[in-house]
Amino acid sequence: MAVGRESLTWFEGKWHRGNTPIIGSDDHAAWLGSQVFDGARQFEGARPDLDLHSARIIRSAEAMGMVPPVDADTVQGLLEEGCGKFPADAALYLRPMMWARDSSPGIIDIAPQSTAFAICIEALPMPAPEGFSLTVSPYCRPRPDMALTEAKAASLYANNGRIMADARARGFSNALSLDVEGYVAETASTNVFMVRDGVVFTPVPNGMFLAGITRARVIALLRADGVEVVETSLTLADFDAADEIFVTGNIAKVMPVARYQERVFTGTPLADRARALYWDYALSRERHLV
With residue 18 as reference, give the H or E element that holds it.
none
The CATH number of 7-123 is which of 3.30.470.10, 1.10.8.50, 3.40.50.1000, 3.30.420.40?
A: 3.30.470.10
Q: Regarding the domain delimited by 133-286, which CATH topology (the fold level of the hierarchy) does it fall under?
A: D-amino Acid Aminotransferase; Chain A, domain 2 (3.20.10)
Q: Is 30 helix (H, G, I), strand (E, B) or coil?
A: helix
Per-residue pLDDT at 287 exceeds 90: no
Residue among 14, 83, 12, 89 nearest 54 (CA): 83
Strands 92-100 and 184-186, bridge-based pairing: unpaired
pLDDT at 227: 98
pLDDT in tens, 148-174: 999 999 999 999 999 999 999 999 999
Binned at pLDDT 50, 70 and 90, residue 2 comes out as low
pLDDT at 228: 98
Give the pLDDT band (50/70/90) at residue 4: low
**pTM (two decimals):** 0.94
| 255 confidence band (pLDDT: 50, 70, 90) | very high
pLDDT tens-digit series, residues 51-69: 999 999 999 999 999 999 9
Rounded-to-integer distance, Cα 2 and Cα 93, Å: 11
Check pLDDT > 90 for residue 288.
no
The pLDDT > 90 percentage for the chain reads 95
- State the pLDDT confidence band at 107, using cuts at 50, 70 and 90: confident
Q: Which residues have C-beta within 8 Å of that of residue 122, sequence separation ≥ 6?
A: 1, 3, 4, 6, 7, 8, 92, 93, 95
Q: Is the pLDDT of residue 21 over 90?
A: yes
How many CB atoms lie under 10 A from the CB of residue 41? 23
- The pLDDT tens digits for 182-230 are 999 999 999 999 999 999 999 999 999 999 999 999 999 999 999 999 9
Range from 29-33, 39-43, 202-206, 282-286 carrying the lowest mean pLDDT: 282-286
Q: Could you tell me how far CA 102 lies from the centroid of its own chain? A: 27
Q: Which of 167, 168, 206 is nearest to 184 (CA)?
A: 206
Domain boundaries, the chain: 7-123, 133-286
285 pLDDT above the threshold of 90 = no
Strand order in the sheet with 229-232: 229-232, 199-203, 191-196, 244-249, 253-256
